């Protein structure tokens, strides 16, 4: 997973997975991506950055279940410059964690350092982390807790990051396998 440089093979896989055949007309373009980054004081992780600039800015097909939202819709209300506060899964419905004010951290999880990619419904939202130690990783955030996506975190057999998440969806696998015992 390279957050700083787009891999042409990954971009081709993303283009194919989303069925984008409009030659990039549904993409934002680099000027709009740079303006978004300047406004929010971040540099988006690759390959998502190039994906929205050159391939497409959202899609009515998944992932997630209800489609991929556009960059401005997914990041417009987020505080992207603040780092995402978690580095490991947290089921706050069952555990307050090591936090003095868990409710404040839960608010930060849903707002700070991440773009909303879309939803699977019932409050199960997918986020791309744009700042902090998990930059470039995908997290599922629900009303009950949050966990990172990818084999290295034990929640699935898929590779991490935006491309791994999309490839996993395109392969038709379940999004979130049961965590290891």
Lowest mean pLDDT among 1-5, 67-71, 142-146: 1-5
Q: What is the pLDDT of residue 60?
A: 84
pLDDT digits (tens, 9 = 90+) for 72-126: 999 888 999 999 999 999 999 888 888 889 999 999 999 999 999 999 999 899 9
User: Would you say the C-alpha torsion 175, 151, 147, 67 has a positive or negative sign?
Assistant: negative
Residue 140 near residue 124 (C-beta atoms within 8 A): yes
As a whole number of angstroms, the distance between CA 33 and CA 50 comes to 9
The SS3 assignment for 135 reads coil
In the DSSP assignment, the letter for residue 33 is: H
pLDDT digits (tens, 9 = 90+) for 22-67: 776 889 999 999 999 999 999 999 999 999 999 999 888 778 888 8
In which band, very low, low, confident or very high, does the pLDDT at 18 lie, cut at 50, 70 and 90? confident
Q: What is the pLDDT of residue 174?
A: 42
Assessment of whether the complete model's pTM goes beyond 0.85: yes
Return the CA Rg of the chain.
Answer: 16
Averaged confidence pLDDT in the chain: 89
Q: In order of start, what are the domains of the chain with their CATH numbers? A: 8-170 (3.40.1580)
């Amino acid at each position: 997973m390279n957050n700083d440089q787009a891999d042409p093979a990954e971009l081709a896989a993303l283009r194919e997975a989303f069925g984008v055949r409009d030659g990039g007309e549904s993409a934002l373009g680099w000027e709009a991506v740079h303006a978004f980054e300047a406004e929010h004081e971040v540099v988006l992780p690759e390959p998502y950055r190039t994906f929205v600039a050159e391939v497409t800015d959202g899609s009515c097909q998944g992932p997630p279940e209800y489609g991929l939202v556009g960059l401005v819709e997914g990041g417009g209300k987020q505080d992207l410059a603040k780092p995402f506060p978690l580095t490991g899964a947290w089921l706050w419905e069952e555990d307050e964690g090591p936090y003095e004010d868990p409710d404040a951290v839960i608010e930060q999880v849903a707002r700070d350092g991440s773009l909303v990619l879309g939803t699977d419904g019932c409050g199960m939202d997918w986020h791309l982390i744009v700042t902090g130690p998990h930059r470039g990783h995908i997290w599922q955030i629900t009303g009950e807790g949050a966990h990172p996506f990818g084999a290295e975190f034990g929640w699935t057999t898929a590779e991490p990051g935006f491309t791994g998440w999309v490839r996993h969806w395109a392969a038709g696998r379940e999004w979130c396998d049961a965590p290891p015992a």
